Amino acid sequence: MTSSNWFDSQTILDGIRRWVEIETPTESPEQVNELVSLVAEQYRGLPVTLERVAGVAGCGDHLVARTNWGQDRPGILVLSHLDTVHPVGFIERLPFKVEGDVAFGPGIYDMKGGAYIAHHAFGALCATGDRSPLGITHLFTSDEEIGSPTSRALIEKEGRKAKYVLVTEPARDGGKIVTGRKGVGRFQVHIKGVPAHAGSRPEDGRSAVRELGHVILALEGMNDPARGVTVNVGLVRGGTRPNVTPEEAYAEVDLRVVSLKDADEYVDRILALTAKTDGVTVRVAGGLNRPPYEKSNAGASLYEHARLLAREIGFELIDTHTGGGSDGNFTAAHTATLDGLGVDGKGAHTHFEQLYVSSLAPRARLLHRLYQTLR
């Protein structure tokens, strides 16, 4: 392939299709591993050393591809996840298909498209015999969609060694890059009351569901849009039957914060929730799952560099802050991190997930230029 063929959008889309058609829900490690094997296979002949980290705790393997140069000093870490939120068989509902500029498929936008173009851009670099000034390490993980419990330590270790981190999460709102992300907290609230016959002995009961009502209002009352704090009670359960005073109730809570200071304050407030009713207990577990990140000085100059490269290629790179967490949250505190370098599209985690074909070539070129120019 000549270098212009490398950035032909049909060629790139054909490659993405192969990755999309292997369904990879986080909970199906054998499926994820099938894709890991394909990716490893596609590195054959390229000047990298592969390390396959065996999956644990019901997750699939992680794959690390390190260039055979530049590994003795801080280089570029590319972060991608191969898992998706979609269950096996979802592809029947959302088959790979192209309509005009739109290509559909499970995980095509979040983030197989982005993972693939970063891999493809590396192939383009090697095809011309070029070596990037910095060593490149591409880490493919298997558990991002459940909060990266088995890859976090690896991400942090590689992130600390790197000079730059490029995250191939999808672009936002019309191609925007991500230079800040909110921190994410997760909590489980367990409420225990006293059961009773709701008709004949109501005075003996202490309703856990009624207490849950207080808890929900207290949590929802913590929302502070001006400060960028959101608290969402996203799942509730409780009780057994209409004629029984409920003994148990349960809630799951999502917290998003912009700063570490807010993270500390809100985590403390949520963990400190107590029962308003005598005889009822409220127990809260959980905490901060991903720390927030904001644009650091190093992050700002990395963004500026990428913006100029994008302009040479012919598009405007605009930065944004998002409430969504990613593995970039684990690296941005200590290493310049640029996120949202994946493909443009919409519908992450939905039955209409899609990428824009016209975004493939320019964004693959941008990654290629970042590899060539970061030093």
Q: How far is the CB of 339 from Zn ion (least distance, A)?
A: 10
Contact stretch for Zn ion (CB under 5 A) within 102-110, 233-241, 247-255, 303-311: 102-110
For Zn ion, the closer of residues 36 and 208 by Cβ is 36
Contact stretch for Zn ion (CB under 5 A) within 33-41, 103-111, 225-233, 282-290: 103-111
For Zn ion, the closer of residues 211 and 353 by Cβ is 353
Q: How far is the CB of 20 from Zn ion (least distance, A)?
A: 14
Q: How far is the CB of 120 from Zn ion (least distance, A)?
A: 18
Q: How far apart (Å, rounded) are the C-alpha atoms in residues 50 and 85?
A: 26
Other Cβ atoms closer than 10 A to 1: 11
Inter-residue contact 374 to 132 (CB < 8 Å)? yes
For Zn ion, the closer of residues 27 and 248 by Cβ is 27
Among 111, 134, 229, 275, binds Zn ion (CB under 5 A): 111
| Residue span 169-198 as binding mask against Zn ion, x where in contact by CB under 5 A, dash where not | x-----------------------------
Among 110, 211, 339, 344, binds Zn ion (CB under 5 A): 110
Encoded tokens for 362: 């320019």
Q: How far is the CB of 249 from Zn ion (least distance, A)?
A: 32
Q: Which amino acid is at 245?
A: T
Contact stretch for Zn ion (CB under 5 A) within 107-115, 119-127, 185-193, 357-365: 107-115
| Residue span 241-280 as binding mask against Zn ion, x where in contact by CB under 5 A, dash where not | ----------------------------------------
For Zn ion, the closer of residues 111 and 125 by Cβ is 111
Q: How far is the CB of 253 from Zn ion (least distance, A)?
A: 22
Q: How far apart (Å, rounded) are the C-alpha atoms in residues 146 and 184?
A: 12
Applying CB under 5 A, does 82 fall inside the site for Zn ion?
no
For Zn ion, the closer of residues 176 and 190 by Cβ is 176
Q: How far apart (Å, rounded) are the C-alpha atoms in residues 29 and 141?
A: 11
Query: What is the residue whose two structure tokens read 């095809």?
Result: 127
For Zn ion, the closer of residues 113 and 195 by Cβ is 113
Q: How far apart (Å, rounded) are the C-alpha atoms in residues 39 and 23?
A: 14
Q: How far is the CB of 171 from Zn ion (least distance, A)?
A: 12
Residues that bind Zn ion (CB under 5 A): 110-111, 169
